[in-house]
Structure 1
């Protein structure tokens, strides 16, 4: 059997082929373009690569055009963590020398000796991969929006507390369009105190507000005219300019998050597993798409539910040495799926009586803290999701939490 290792770089790649005995059969230095990809495929074909029996490939990345080319057909592509590859390098040399051709040889030998211990890239459908792109982009846009909003809040606390008091009762706070329009009209407290009811009402209408404009304008006007401490006028004007610059970034981040959310709303319901995922309490379109993006639709990716739980970081891990043993939470995990799991468990507590009873039992009977109880609930529901997706069954409350519902009753 032939094994291929590719040391990936930005512009060029090093390729190495080895056989079962570890003998180097061929090595190439290819460019990151269509010509280089053709040289690679021709090299693999020269050493017996066929559509029915492709040569497995190890590479240190799971994304990019090179990986897309290699994943066509039935070929198994193994994305090896660079840290793991560095540990394997010590098996072949004690001098700690490093070179790109040498790393390609190391990757090929990883497959030769330990291919069973590594997992190939999942065979997800094109629709699932497209949903993954949109869901991750929307998640990144949401995090970016919140980061800019935090910067804006920190700056407003330095010189403009009235703006924070204005939006204190609104959901989403500084990310609302009403706040952005008001700050554009009055980026400093001095200008805000001079705003008239008509100007405030016009700002609310520009933000898309339809009802209660007059009453809300009166409330905002009263808040903005309360006596606050002020920065010196020149400093206040400079901070106002900084606020306007941040508003441009926040506007772009809000637009990106909304547009990507709409794209997810259109793409996710088209997936065959969408109805199963949406049947679970606490999972909507956006959160369900994030879960699907990380677990994929390759039903053979995980051997059992335990593998999925370990991948999500919801199952505990045991560290034992001699007479010492400790059970702690996992640190090496899929952070995106783990983050979605906490949001899922938090929403499920109020959406599912069984989930709420399970959470209360972990808090009261086992003494778990809030985060630990949430993680335990996520761990249980993730196992139920694995079963339902494998069997393509919808979530059933009484089947999932029969014991908890009986105890609660």
Structure 2
């Protein structure tokens, strides 16, 4: 059987042909390998140079390689954080014509590390907790997409720093199954496996002296179950609110934020008679807020600002007559977004006197008005509306901010600031 490379990119096979496929992976010469930290794997895995890319090569049976390649492509299509599949190599033989195992090739995830490399210097308990949080978030996202992992563990994920937290990526889909929806039993099986695997991995670290003395493997392994359940409950339960209680949506988003989870997109449906709104948060990739806000409105904002503005935009659209239930962004999202910018965003920003804005940009001003609206609505027990919010914000909040900034500037000029 001739060597065959099945790749996602038609240019990929030519680059991969230069690798020594007639040699067992654990005997590949050093000149074609790249020294990067590797996690524990049941198969031989090596990093190699392939043109401009660094790739991970895993020796595995042909059937398993083709299956995992297909699953990784499906996850990539669904926007799930996972390694990027590049190719499957079959028909390998050695110099004597003896068959060799097939290979699965994935792109190395830049900036990522296996968990054992991260524990080379003893990690603080708070950092260990952030790793567990990242893995719980990944598992929730997989389950929402209908993917049963079958072997969730620290070893089968890669971790990449994401501001003050970590993002987890699936690196081994060999035992996975993709379905339309998962049953509660399938999800619970994955969670129980995760609990046992993580506790065992932390025990191994403890035995080697690489675990912080205050970290108890059993409770930390069990903590992922609670973290997962909290996230799953908040992300999958539908809430029905009266139209005049839109601040309840803000309250739920804040609760999700308190769990450390960003609500990047929402599905909002208005009832046929228009008296209630059904709210369901959705999970999307990092950086989604800035890209979507810029695409829909032309507004260029920071990530947190963009998230808040998008939340307000989608809540506002649910109250419009030409909003289409079932479509989270309406029948004509660009038209609705333009109307929101014209009729809501710009008038709100312009209502704030220039002399009271300081160095705040338009997105920050609107964000602060939304914060104040939530506060006033919570206190009043109903949505107070944007116009009343702006009036109260300009009259009762901004003067104190300007006064504080004036005092601070005076202190700094007098050399009194610390």
* TM-score, length basis structure 1: 0.26
Bigger helix share: 1
Bigger strand share: 2
* TM-score, length basis structure 2: 0.25
Q: Relative contact order (alpha carbons < 8 A, sep ≥ 6): 1 or 2 greater?
A: 1
